[in-house]
C-alpha cells in the first residue's frame, strides 16, 4: 500500500527540518511535529524517519525520542550504527540513550524561522 499524497507531503516537510539539524546535535520526533504545527504527530515523524534511510542527505540518526533514547536504532544497518554515527559527531551515548540530553538537544522552534513562513 502506498502512502497518501498528504503523508508524502508531510514526510517531505519532516526531511526539510531534519536536514537542518547540526552535526553533534539531536532533536526529538515530537519537537519536529510541534515545529511543523502538528504537535500530536510524533509517531508520523517516526514513520518518516523509518522511510528515509535510502536518502543519505537525511541525517535520521539525529532524531531520537523525547528523553534521548535511540528508539529508531533498529532501522539502521547493524545494531549500533545509529550510536556510532552520533558518537562520531561528539554526542555521548550510553545504554542506547543520549547522555546530557539537554546539552545536545536542538529545538527547531528555537533555531528555525516559524514553519508557517515557508
Over residues 46-64, mean pLDDT? 94
More confident: 83 or 118 = 83
Cell numbers 545504554: residue: 95
Q: DSSP letter string over 22-72?
A: PTT-BEEHHHHHHHTT-TT-HHHHHHHHHHTTT-TTS-GGGEE-TTSB-TT
Please give the pLDDT value at position 115: 84
The one-character DSSP state at 85 is: H
When the pLDDT of each residue in the chain is averaged and rounded to a whole number, the result is 92
- CA torsion, ordered 46, 48, 54, 59, to nearest 10 deg: -70
Alpha helices in 63-100 (DSSP H): 81-88
Q: Which three cell numbers stand for residue 42?
A: 510524533
Single pTM value for the model: 0.91
Over residues 32-43, mean pLDDT? 96
pLDDT tens digits for 80-102?
999 999 999 999 999 999 999 99
- CA torsion, ordered 50, 63, 12, 2, to nearest 10 deg: 20
Q: DSSP letter string over 94-118?
A: ETTEETTHHHHB--HHHHS--GGG-
Break the chain into its structural domains and give their ranges: 5-102
Please give the pLDDT value at position 1: 43
Which numeric CATH code is attached to 5-102? 1.10.10.10
Amino acid at each position: 500500500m502506498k502512502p497518501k499524497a498528504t503523508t508524502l507531503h508531510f514526510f517531505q516537510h519532516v526531511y526539510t527540518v531534519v536536514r537542518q539539524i547540526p552535526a553533534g546535535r539531536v532533536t526529538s520526533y515530537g519537537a519536529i511535529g510541534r515545529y511543523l504545527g502538528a504537535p500530536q504527530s510524533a509517531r508520523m515523524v517516526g514513520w518518516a524517519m523509518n522511510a528515509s534511510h535510502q536518502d543519505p542527505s537525511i541525517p535520521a540518526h539525529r532524531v531520537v525520542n523525547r528523553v534521548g533514547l535511540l528508539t529508531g536504532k533498529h532501522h539502521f544497518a547493524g545494531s549500533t550504527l545509529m550510536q556510532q554515527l552520533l558518537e562520531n559527531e561528539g554526542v555521548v551515548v550510553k545504554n542506547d540513550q543520549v547522555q546530557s540530553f539537554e546539552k545536545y538537544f536542538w529545538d527547531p522552534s528555537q533555531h528555525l524561522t516559524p514553519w508557517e513562513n515557508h
